[in-house]
Amino acid sequence: MRSASVSPNESESYVDLGHHMLEHSTRVPGRYWMIGDVRHGRRYLRSYALDPKVNKARIEAGIQVTADTIQELAGRLGMEPATLQGTVERFNGFARSGVDQDFGRGNSAYDRYYSDPLVRPNPNRGPLEKGPFTAIQIVPGDLGTKGGVLTDEVGRALRGDGTLIEGLSAAGNNSASVMGNTYPGPGATLGPAAVFGYLAGRHMAAM
Ligand SMILES: Cc1cc2nc3c(=O)[nH]c(=O)nc-3n(C[C@H](O)[C@H](O)[C@H](O)COP(=O)(O)OP(=O)(O)OC[C@H]3O[C@@H](n4cnc5c(N)ncnc54)[C@H](O)[C@@H]3O)c2cc1C
């Protein structure tokens, strides 16, 4: 189920999140900070934090910042301390009530799929309370275009009017996504690429 949120919600599918980040931001390509407290860092696997060299490089590049308090963190990020403090307090209030009035985290089955069921009342939200706090810069990236040529059921390329382009097949990122403009979950890029690549190859071999 797609999240009802129209603002960035990091629990939703990353295609939806990418769209929402681009819609929400006044900057292009948009820049966000993900902030975690010390308990978050200890409790959850953060693959980017496993390699000390990567950590060091991120700190040196200014895209990973740690501070003992939220106010100090704000200062280091060039933000107004009172504003960030207020945002964190609002976030923590929603974590305690369980209802995310800003971004709707935890509203959909998709959100909750990767959540922590031990965190209550909302498995997608935990309060930011215990320093040090770490901020990591997040920017939209790409792993697929969702564009490309429309194909038929065996991967043959079609013109805009639906007629076949003889001798041309397409699969993967070169072809229009069978998932349309949405993304039901991880594998929705590689799965169709493998299936339609296989179907196209088999069809060509039979010709
Ligand atoms: C970090 C990351 C994580 C991902 N995780 C997942 C996931 O969990 N599940 C999932 O389904 N998908 C995932 N994807 C997406 C998926 O990996 C890609 O969408 C998929 O690999 C695209 O395959 P492709 O063959 O269409 O294109 P590509 O793998 O990009 O292959 C295109 C090839 O064409 C070559 N090429 C380009 N131009 C030319 C030229 N002029 N002449 C000859 N060769 C050329 C390129 O060098 C490249 O080898 C992820 C992608 C990234 C980046």
Total number of domains constituting the chain: 2
Q: Most confidently modeled of 56-60, 155-159, 179-183?
A: 155-159
pLDDT, tens digit, 9 for 90 and up, residues 101-148: 998 999 999 999 989 999 999 999 999 999 999 999 988 888 777 789
Pairing of strands 64-67, 133-138: antiparallel
Residues 94 and 29 in one domain: yes
Residues 184 and 133 in one domain: no
Q: Which of 86, 107, 138 is the last residue of a domain?
A: 138
Measure 103 CA to ligand 1 centroid, in angstroms.
Answer: 31
In the structure, what pLDDT confidence band is assigned to residue 4 with cuts at 50, 70 and 90?
A: very low
pTM over 0.85, yes/no: no
In a domain, 103, yes or no: yes
In a domain, 58, yes or no: yes
Measure 50 CA to ligand 1 centroid, in angstroms.
Answer: 25
Residues 125 and 51 in one domain: yes
User: Residue 67 is part of a domain; what is its CATH number?
Assistant: 3.90.700.10
For ligand 1, whether the C-beta of 187 sits within 6 Å is yes
Residues 164 and 110 in one domain: no
pLDDT, tens digit, 9 for 90 and up, residues 91-101: 999 999 999 99
Residues 41 and 111 in one domain: yes
Sign of CA dihedral 66, 70, 75, 78: positive
For ligand 1, whether the C-beta of 190 sits within 6 Å is yes
Residues 105 and 175 in one domain: no
Residues 170 and 100 in one domain: no
Ligand 1 nearest atom to the CA of residue 190, by list position: 11
Residues 161 and 116 in one domain: no
Measure 44 CA to ligand 1 centroid, in angstroms.
Answer: 28
Q: Which of 97, 112, 138 is the last residue of a domain?
A: 138
Residues 34 and 121 in one domain: yes
Residue 157 has pLDDT above 60, yes or no: yes
pLDDT, tens digit, 9 for 90 and up, residues 21-53: 888 777 666 678 999 999 988 888 766 666 778
pLDDT attached to residue 8: 73
Q: Which domain holds residue 163?
A: 156-205
- Substitution site in 143, 169, 177, 178 for ligand 1 pocket (most atoms within 8 Å of beta carbon): 143
Residues 26 and 76 in one domain: yes
In a domain, 5, yes or no: no
